[in-house]
């Protein structure tokens, strides 16, 4: 018998007109471990890129004219000499740049393209269908991988991985875990009180968020996400902008609660990332063993040094002003956004000063138009970094953060690099983005080929 998630995914596929099988069982099957499984797709034909200059995702230079062979979903050979690949599909690079697909390390697939008022009330099927449409747009911008840090993305991910919907690879966190009144708790006072252990809200029931108010509840909530297939766990350790009852200066989880989540994730070989702006939220999280701080926008010098000394990751974002304007001007959320956004410059200066392990993400929310500016947001990093440093961060460096998921990674293989043996997520770019970062801000014109997992999704020669 199909479970609730299976019906939900099937409904999305049928609504999109993409499911062609005549029975539910033949569209989506449940493997013995509980994960959604699909029959293996036929291997992609070999593709040979000739006469390309390679940005490999780790070095701040382009190679000389080179040839790259992709077989199946893997880069199998890179050579400055001719490659004998009988039967391969040949794409003449004509001296253009071949680079890794872009990675957004802080993305919300379910929330990026829908206004917050709609998200609070819309039918779940509608939300999934819009998310599927946004997923394709994300891939067509050259983002072949996203680290999803909050949302019931399971159905979308399964549909993308099975080939029913086009989109990037998704490293899912599942529900964003918070406390009563914390960032992510969208209930009204009339919804209180909650019985300990009971679901907290509609978002809790849908799987977008989860409320936990004790170490035991934290363990349970973390294990629920791991059971669903989370590659990492996301908690909100301090106040946030969009949530109605969550002051920015509030510190939410106790150290014991944070430690319980870290222990549960560590037992599964993965890690915890936390939403945290303030020094206290950052430092408490690090003491508990958290491996990645999301945002850090209000950090001080001592917190930056603590991040450096512990080798903790900083996943921060060059937040655009348009994101703040997603909230009504003068509203509490708008005022909180002004305070957070004012800290962006200082956060990046700390990151550079202390050579922090820094990942790139966008954290776009509630606006399809702003999601369409994903590439421009990436390019805005050149306020602090060179174009080469910017692109390394969005490819090879972000891939290092994804690797913290270990065996919980949904995708076997190396990402974010153009190297022999790496997964074939590739962009053929018209121009030299290391010299002119503006090249990436017009993907429609300048990303001539978009390949993910060895499959070509766009080809404009």
- 115-163 tens-digit pLDDT: 877 877 888 899 999 999 999 999 999 999 999 999 999 999 999 999 9
- 90-116 tens-digit pLDDT: 999 999 999 999 999 999 999 998 887
- pLDDT range class, residue 200, cuts 50, 70, 90: low
State which H helix or E strand residue 449 sits in.
strand 447-452
**Strand 29-30 relative to strand 36-37: parallel, antiparallel, unpaired?**
antiparallel
Yes or no: say if 401 and 105 are a contact pair by the CB < 8 Å rule.
yes
- pLDDT range class, residue 22, cuts 50, 70, 90: very low
DSSP 297-315: TT--HHHHHHHHHHT-EEE
Q: Which structural domains are found in the chain, ordered by start?
A: 47-101+415-459 (2.30.40.10), 102-384 (3.20.20.140)
Distances (CA, A) of 89 to 68, 98, 100: 12, 16, 19
Terminal-to-terminal C-alpha distance of the chain: 47
The rounded distance, in Å, linking the Cα atoms of 256 and 239 is: 18
Omega of the bond leading into 193 within 30 degrees of 0 (cis) = yes
User: By CB neighbour count within 10 A (0-12 exposed, 13-18 middle, 19+ buried), where does 233 fall?
Assistant: buried
pLDDT at residue 242 is higher than 80: no
State which H helix or E strand residue 24 sits in.
helix 24-27
- pLDDT range class, residue 377, cuts 50, 70, 90: very high
State which H helix or E strand residue 146 sits in.
strand 143-148
The rounded distance, in Å, linking the Cα atoms of 255 and 284 is: 6
Strands (E), 215-311: 233-236, 272-276, 292-295
The rounded distance, in Å, linking the Cα atoms of 236 and 140 is: 31
* Three-class secondary structure of residue 237 per DSSP: coil
Secondary structure of 149-216 in HEC code, one letter for each residue: CCCCCHHHHHHHHCCCCCCCEEEECCCEEECCCCCCCCCCHHHCCCCCCCCCCHHHHHCCEEECCCHH
- pLDDT range class, residue 188, cuts 50, 70, 90: confident
């Amino acid at each position: 018998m199909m479970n609730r998630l299976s019906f939900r995914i099937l409904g999305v596929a049928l609504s999109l007109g993409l499911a062609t099988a005549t029975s539910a069982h033949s569209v989506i099957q449940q493997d013995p471990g509980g994960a959604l499984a699909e029959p293996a797709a036929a291997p992609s034909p070999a593709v040979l890129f000739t006469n390309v200059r390679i940005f490999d995702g780790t070095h701040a230079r382009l190679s000389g004219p080179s040839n790259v062979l992709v077989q199946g979903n893997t880069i199998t050979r890179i050579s400055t000499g001719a490659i004998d690949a009988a039967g391969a599909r040949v794409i003449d690079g004509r001296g253009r740049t071949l680079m890794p697909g872009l990675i957004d390390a802080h993305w919300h697939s379910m929330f990026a393209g829908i206004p917050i008022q709609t998200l609070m009330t819309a039918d779940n099927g509608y939300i999934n269908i819009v998310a599927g449409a946004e997923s394709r747009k994300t891939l067509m911008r050259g983002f072949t991988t996203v680290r999803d840090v909050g949302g019931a993305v399971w159905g979308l991910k399964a549909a993308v991985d099975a080939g029913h919907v086009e989109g990037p690879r998704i490293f899912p966190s599942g529900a964003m875990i918070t406390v009563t009144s914390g960032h992510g708790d969208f209930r009204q006072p009339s919804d209180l009180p909650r019985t300990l252990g009971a679901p907290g809200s509609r978002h809790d029931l849908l799987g977008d968020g989860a409320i936990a108010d004790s170490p035991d509840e934290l363990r349970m909530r973390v294990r629920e996400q791991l059971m669903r297939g989370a590659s990492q766990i996301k908690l909100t350790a301090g106040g946030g902008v969009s949530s109605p009852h969550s002051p920015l200066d509030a510190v939410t989880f106790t150290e014991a609660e944070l430690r319980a989540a870290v222990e549960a994730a560590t037992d599964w070989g993965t890690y915890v990332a936390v939403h945290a702006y303030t020094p206290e939220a950052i430092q408490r999280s690090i003491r508990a063993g958290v491996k990645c701080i999301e945002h850090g926008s209000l950090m001080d010098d001592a917190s930056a040094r603590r991040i450096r000394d512990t080798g903790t990751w900083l996943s921060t974002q060059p937040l655009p002003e348009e994101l703040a304007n997603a909230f009504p001007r003068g509203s509490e959320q708008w005022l909180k956004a002004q305070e957070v956004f004012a800290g962006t410059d200082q956060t990046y200066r700390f990151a550079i000063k202390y050579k922090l392990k820094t990942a790139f993400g966008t954290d776009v929310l509630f606006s399809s138009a702003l999601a369409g500016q994903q590439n421009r947001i990436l390019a805005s990093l050149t306020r602090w970094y060179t174009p080469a440093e910017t692109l390394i961060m969005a490819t090879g460096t972000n891939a290092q953060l994804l690797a913290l998921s270990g065996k919980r990674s949904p995708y076997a293989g190396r990402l974010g690099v153009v190297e022999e043996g790496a997964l074939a997520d590739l962009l053929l770019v018209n121009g030299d983005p290391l010299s002119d970062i503006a090249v990436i801000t017009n993907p429609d014109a300048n990303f001539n080929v978009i390949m993910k997992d060895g499959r070509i999704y766009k080809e404009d020669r």
